Amino acid sequence: MKNLCLFVVFFSISIPLLAANKIKAIDIFVIDKRIVFSVATREKNLKRPGSCTQYTLNQPANFKPFERMLQLVPTTIKRKKRRGMIGEYIITEIFFEDGTSVAFGMDRRFKVEYNSYDVAIDGHQFHKTCLQPFISPALNWHSFNVKELDLEPRRVHSKYLNYKGGFDGYVVQFTAETKRFIAEKAVRKRYFTSKEYSQAFDFLNGSILIGIDLKTKEIVSIHFAEQEEKHLAQGEMSNQLFEKYKRVIRGNIQIQAFYNVYNLKSDIIYKMIEFKD
């Protein structure tokens, strides 16, 4: 009877704890493995919008390999205070439904860290099971040869690359109306007063990084590529103008089709848009 009581108490405590730590989303930030830095990268810089190639996972089926990796992290390390990682080339940040998050980091030698602490996890296995299905082989982390793209470098940079990043494996095709909206100032000005337009399309707001949900083809996030500081996340616009700006952007930037070159399984990808004057 005593053992039964203990089981009931333990069971009642464990359920809410497990529920609180259910994964909500995962962000993967990747630097091309061929790049060598003279100064070690820092986590906060790597995670700035547009600093490298980024993917987001939001479907539970994609969480399973990460859940298994989390089980390999010793409780003693999980209890330690999280620190910013230094020198990592891939950072995988896992967000839980209770609002907390943790991160795995991996350097060019496939050494794995958890919240900046060393863990006895095989980096090659971590890459194969957790990362390889989601990141482009064009970033040179895969063991097999990269599929050649018959595209000139300039065309690749202007149409298919992330901001400051490598080819993420997805080619996005916009509608004709969207191309006009991006290319012609007169088309964009229809939606704003002169004062609003000068604020919304200030020269520092000329490049935006949009998050695209591949299932719905909808824009789910907007970041200003040149506004690196957190307090400038709204492009120095008021709340009211920024909400209007987002409505206009989402209403006028429409994805006609996308091509998943390597059959990757990511849920959200990020692409740069440069507005023309």
- Cβ contact 261:129 at 8 Å: no
> Residue ranges per domain, the chain?
22-139, 169-274
The predicted pLDDT at position 200 comes to 95
Of the candidate ranges 38-47, 163-172, 205-214, the one whose mean pLDDT is the lowest:
163-172
Does residue 162 carry a pLDDT above 80? no
Number of Cβ within a 10 Å radius of residue 274: 12
The predicted pLDDT at position 256 comes to 92
For range 137-155, the mean pLDDT:
62
117-118 and 170-174 beta bridge pairing: unpaired
DSSP for 104-156, please give it: EEE-TT--EEETTEE----HHHHIIIIITTTS-GGGS-SSSPPPPP---HHHI
The number of residues in the chain equals 277
Residue 216 CA to residue 211 CA, distance in Å, equals 12
Residue 105 CA to residue 166 CA, distance in Å, equals 19
- Cβ contact 23:66 at 8 Å: yes
Query: In the predicted model, what is the mean pLDDT of the chain?
Result: 86
Q: Which of the pair, 172 or 49, is modelled with greater confidence?
A: 172
DSSP for 227-248, please give it: --SGGGTTTT--HHHHHHHHHH
Does residue 277 carry a pLDDT above 90? no
Does residue 155 carry a pLDDT above 80? no
Does residue 4 carry a pLDDT above 50? no
For range 74-102, the mean pLDDT:
96
Q: What is the pLDDT of residues 89-126, one digit of tens each?
A: 999 999 999 999 999 999 999 999 999 999 999 999 99
